[in-house]
Structure 1
Amino acid sequence: MSNEELKVLLEKYLSDEITPAERQRLQVLVQNDHNRHTLGEMIAAILAEERYTTTSQVDLQQAFGEVMQEAAHREARSRERSMMVVTDSSSSPYFRIFYKLAAAAILLVGLGTGAYWWYRSPQPVANRPVAAVVVPGGNKAILTLADGSIIELDSAREGALGNQGGTRIIKLNGGRLAYAANSAANAGAGSQYNTISTPRGGQYQVVLPDGSQVWLNAASSLRFPVAFTGKDRAVTLTGEAYFEVAQNAGQPFIVQTTGMQVKVLGTHFNVMAYSDEGRVKTTLMEGAVSVSQGKATSLMQPGQQASINESGEAFNITRPDLEEVMAWKTGEFRFRKTDIRMIMRQIARWYNVEIEYKGDLSGITLYGGMTRKENVAQLLELLEQTGEVHFSTNGNHITVMPAGMN
């Protein structure tokens, strides 16, 4: 890549003369961290040109700095959906120049960190009124007690929900459940199991009897004893959860899934074990964990992700984008060259919608990010702004097609 190529593409972008192929090339160049400094210098040089400095109405140099700072702040504020808003002053030619340069500035920050969806004003998208009623998920879960009785946590009142084997079950505020074991917990409590399950469109947090904290993603469940009285602390997970395990060297913590066992003493990690994702993935944030499946075993280090390979004989150890892995816990959608079908599976679980596919969607991977607080219509609009995909909606049914297909 030459600086001349980057400059030509940037000039074409600012003058609205860029072709779709050239725009795609510019996206690739901007996403390369090695080009960020060069691009910043080029934008600054453009701002210094006489054609942008002859007006006293707008201090573009200062505006550029402010926009860059604001864009960085937006990224830090959970990457919530941000769009450039054109005010009445947009009739000014100087404002239009500033708008394009501001867009380029935000493009630099946004694309450089992988959260793009070109920051231009969105165009009207057809077939969206019905989808607007599909709202995001929230704190919803069902607790199944050892005797089979069921408590709907989202409708239950805060406070004590019951007592099992000397362990109190308490609903806290903000979508949290806590198990408070005490000295009166009897030996039989270790054989009494509870299960907390989130539906599609739900999430919940639980504090286990040992003080370990677990965040459950949508369409997930965790089975655990009401007291950890044995030689280990074993729980069973389906779906996805993030664990912050209380340290206890004499009682290892074990997470069992259908495709992997994770063994720890005290650490922070994420386990994704959805049946429709093909592979179970464990991502370690802090500490150390041992993963095993059959004869395969591996010791992980922070920042690594383990998944069992196709043969089931060895683990694949990679270093994933940790922000993308943890986006669900921080209330975000975060895509970094993510396959469209994987994106739609996340959407299906969080919004409780049905997905259908039409046409050839192979090879479509997207970058982007948005808060999970928005309704599905806004997310679909942003996805369509990439020019790669198109959606048709009918109630809670979404059809995904390549762009240009109806």
Structure 2
Amino acid sequence: MEHKTIYELIAEYSNGTLSPAAQEQLRHLIDNDKEARKLFRDIREAEKLLKTIQAQEKLSPQEAWENFSETLTHTRRKNRRLHRIIGTAIAASVALILLFIFPDTRSTYAPEQQVAQTQIEPGSVKAVLSYANGETVNLTSSASSRIVAPDGSTIVNDSLEGLQYNKDNRETGQTAPLHMITVPPGGEYRFTLSDGTRVWINSSSEIQFPSQFSGNTREIYMKGEIYLEVTPDKSRPFIVHSGNDRIRVLGTKFNITAYPEEQKTITTLVSGSVEFEHNNSKIRLSPGEQSIMDHTTDKLEKQKVDVSIYTSWISGAFEYENMPLSYIARQLSRWYDVQFTFEAAEFREHPFTGIVKRNQTLEEVLTIIGKTTNIKFEISGRNIIIKKAEDAANISRLNN
């Protein structure tokens, strides 16, 4: 495996291009090297501050970078908060790595590229942990490396992988209480259950699960969209509940989309085997297959699909193949926390094929879509109006 520097790893992490092997390398450094851990936190904080400067002062990325660079050079002047966060000793390192994270700031922006208004930024890691007694923990701002829940269970708060529920071998004779993780619009989160199963949670979603699995099954409850890598255990099947739908597995990788507004539960299998069940209907899936439960017609079907289209979100991208704009709009509205309005009904079925990165601003994503669909997007606050354009890739802003 290629050995990368901490600077390369952090830059790739921020850009969403970190490979699984490099991710493990970064986590090892953060967990075992105090200087690497400090650098990681400082740079992530500096990255947030740079974006805040751009948004609050309504600057172009180039102007925000110039202001930020000057602040780094003179950390002892007015900005004590920044000096406290970063410190002069690593200011040069922060500036260097942010050049890799924000490459467009290396050259001056042309006037037509500047956007005077605040751009709509992509979602980020956001989640809230709730206990059965009503207590909550904001996982977005929590800096604690270890959390003790009211039921006595201990949870490791990993810097990269989120919560890690450790297996508790104590025999209590009682069923463990349910915990819930809620991800708001414009958020995402991932964590690990006590059996080692890894969970990715998409925007506007929630999942309920026991702090420790007991009995002959492992059962969780979800709304929205999640991706699971289930730890095999032949003696205890893994069961996912979504309303009246059940997905039963032993050990596998699969994606479930079950947003109430979609009126469909879509299960896409990457590997292994799952059985989807709704009332008296059952379908067993093989890798590369997808089940679709239409709750408006009460019809259950399955089909062959390209699984990457339905799982690309966990790798930092949205992948589309002849996908109607109505579906894309709903997906983008959850990630960017915006609303889409179609000027004419026929635009809803307008297809788009392409790949966009989840760390791009909404304006950048809409530009990519507009180039191939002859659709114009008008932005008014957090509402986007979709209409036909004479020239493709048009994006305009309405005066509020």
TM-score range with shorter-chain normalisation?
0.5 to 0.7
1:389 matched residue in structure 2: 375
Paired position in structure 2 for 1:221: 206
C-alpha displacement of 1:174: 2.2
- Larger deviation, residues 267-276 vs 305-314: 305-314
- Spell out structure 1 runs of 4+ moving beyond 6 A: 123-128
Decide whether aligned partners of structure 1 residues 125 and 273 sit closer, same or farther in structure 2, where only a CA change above 3 A counts.
farther
1:176 aligns with 162
SS at match of 2:315: coil
- Among 136, 139, 142, the alignment partner of 1:156 is 142
| 1:361 counterpart = 2:347 | yes
Q: Aligned letter for 2:184? A: P
Identify if the C-alpha distance between structure 1 residues 229 and 383 changes in structure 2 by more than 3 Å, giving closer, same or farther: same
Task: State the alpha-carbon separation in 2 of the partners of residues 363 and 240 from structure 1.
Answer: 22
Residue type of the partner of 1:298?
I
Amino acid at match of 1:382: I
- The gaps in structure 1 that reach 5 residues or longer are 1-75, 79-122
CA contact (8 A) 2:351 2:373 kept: no
Assess if the C-alpha contact under 8 Å between 1:247 and 1:266 holds in 2: yes
Amino acid of the structure 1 residue aligned with 2:233: N
Supply the distance in 1 between the matched residues of 2:129 and 2:285 (Cα, whole angstroms): 32
In the aligned structure 1, how far is the partner of 2:112 from the partner of 2:281? 49
Give, in angstroms, the shift of residue 308 of structure 1: 1.9
Aligned to 1:235: 220
Aligned partners of 2:324 and 2:245: how far apart in 1?
A: 24
CA contact (8 A) 2:181 2:208 kept: yes
Alignment equivalent of 1:379, drawn from 359, 365, 368? 365
After TM superposition, the structure 1 = structure 2 runs for residues 259-338 of structure 1, keeping only pairs within 5 Å, are 259-309=244-294, 315-338=300-323
Match of 1:195 among 174, 177, 180: 180
Structure 1 283/387 Cα, relative in aligned 2: closer, same or farther at 3 Å?
closer
Task: Please tell me whether the aligned partners of residues 129 and 179 of structure 2 are also in contact (alpha carbons under 8 angstroms).
Answer: yes
| Aligned with residue 139 of structure 1, among 125, 130, 135 | 125
- What is the aligned partner in structure 2 of residue 205 from structure 1? 190
Q: Residues 313 and 372 of structure 1: is their aligned pair in 2 closer, same or farther, counting only changes over 3 Å?
A: closer
Inter-partner Cα distance in structure 1 for 2:154 and 2:250? 24
Answer whether contact 2:350 2:373 (CA < 8 A) is retained.
no
Q: Deviations for 1:132-171, whole angstroms, at most 9, x for unmatched residues?
A: 5211111110000121101100100141111454531221
Instruction: Quote the Cα distance in structure 2 between the aligned partners of 1:160 and 1:345.
Output: 36
TM-score (norm 1): 0.66
- Alpha-carbon distance, 1:77 to partner: 9.5
Q: Does 1:257 align with 2:270?
A: no
Aligned partners of 2:132 and 2:177 also within 8 Å: yes
Three-state SS of the structure 2 residue aligned to 1:133 is coil
- Which ranges in structure 2 are unaligned for 5 or more consecutive residues? 1-16, 20-109
Corresponding letter in the other structure for 1:283: T
Deviations 1:242-285, CA, capped at 9 Å, x for gaps? 11111111111100002521001111111011112221000111
TM-score of the two chains, using structure 2 as the length reference: 0.66
CA shift in 2, pair 1:371/1:299, >3 Å:
same
In 2, distance between residues paired with 1:300 and 1:230? 26
Q: 1:127–1:380: structure 2 CA closer, same or farther, 3 Å change rule?
A: farther
Structure 2 counterpart of 1:372, which letter?
R
Verify the 8 A CA contact 1:166 1:186 in the aligned structure 2.
no
Could you tell me how far 1:403 is from its partner in structure 2? Answer: 2.5
Alignment of 1:34-45 (within 5 A): none
Partner of 1:398 in structure 2? 384
Bigger radius of gyration among the two: 1
1:156 maps to a residue whose letter is S
Q: Look up the equivalent residue of 1:401 and give its one-letter code.
A: K
Greater Cα shift, 140-149 or 352-361: 352-361
1:245 to 230, 245, 254: 230
Matching residue of 1:342: 327
- Secondary structure at 2:314 match in 1: coil
Shift of the 295–129 alpha-carbon distance from structure 1 to 2, 3 Å rule, reads: farther
- The count of residues paired between Structure 1 and Structure 2 equals 285
CA RMSD, Structure 1 to Structure 2 (Å): 2.5
CA–CA distance in 2 between the matches of 1:240 and 1:403?
A: 33
Q: Answer whether contact 1:127 1:393 (CA < 8 A) is retained.
A: no
CA distance in 2, matches of 1:400, 1:185: 58
Contact 1:166–1:185 (Cα < 8 Å) also in 2: no
CA contact (8 A) 2:268 2:291 kept: yes
AA aligned to 1:370 is: V
Is residue 269–residue 307 contact of structure 2 (8 Å, CA) maintained in 1? no
**CA distance 1:375–1:326, change in 2 (3 Å):** same
Secondary structure of 1:347 counterpart: helix
CA separation in 2, counterparts of 1:155 and 1:398? 30
Amino acid at match of 1:154: T
